[in-house]
Structure 1
């Protein structure tokens, strides 16, 4: 069952929210997913996660940032992304009260989810293809963004030029063999790992 697209006004312009309630039964959590810097919410790994999470009692909301809604490919500054994301999270919390909020996304979207997780009241984070550093620049690590104090799952390919985050307290890192940054080889397998992690914490059936 598809609720369809919704537009949410944010301080950085309108964001698009594509909501998919679970296939059956009452939802047990709300999963908010963001896209990569130059991509969209129809990336294979995000679609696979939407489908499998929806089949496991999760209400899924995929968020298109205002710069993409406006037709721009170049990403907005990090502060603008975070501000828009937090505004959407607040609206969703009002619309679907009582559901534990899990935030996540792929690449840039995973970074946004991590940076804002505590402020949005999230209970956990699912980070797909977290870009640990710019390609060829391991000294510019973004590992600190993962240190939110919340349970966090990272799913990265072992051939990702953006690197693979280290395992730290509260952060589970699962490395997908043969996968690059796009996680396109086995999106269903990647989604299954994410849903199993959600299930272990009571955020999926």
Structure 2
């Protein structure tokens, strides 16, 4: 398989052996995928097809770390409410010997399970923007986990501050950017400014 984009191959039907053979090994990578997805964003083919068929799609691209004792509850929730596959499952632990990360807090005495999922939820019912991502964020918080911030986030300001060390972040921001020239973490990660 294509190690740099295995989770996206089904979006272009290249998990099918005939399609893979037709495209050839040279095109089976994330560079080709990015080109196709950028083209689709410009042209809006998927958006049009979804509108024609009445399908609503929300992109759900997340990595979450859940304490081991709550991992079964998370995967039960995920299967029931989100239901996309594949799901990456990998153990994770904070290593205090490498320093502390108070803006991404993980307990030292806890083994976590990282769940990664990169796909879209398709539905005939229309939901508000970010509906499924919010469900995941709420469940992660409820189960004592934390979510990586590389993709879309929908936290309220208060929930974001509580989850990602808001008080400490503000003191660091005041120290290193006293004039507020740069956007803050919430503006960048949630408001996408």
**TM-score > 0.5 by shorter chain:** no
* Higher relative helix content: 2
* Higher relative strand content: 1
> Under a length normalisation based on structure 2, what TM-score does the superposition of the two structures give?
0.29
> Under a length normalisation based on structure 1, what TM-score does the superposition of the two structures give?
0.27
Larger radius of gyration: 2
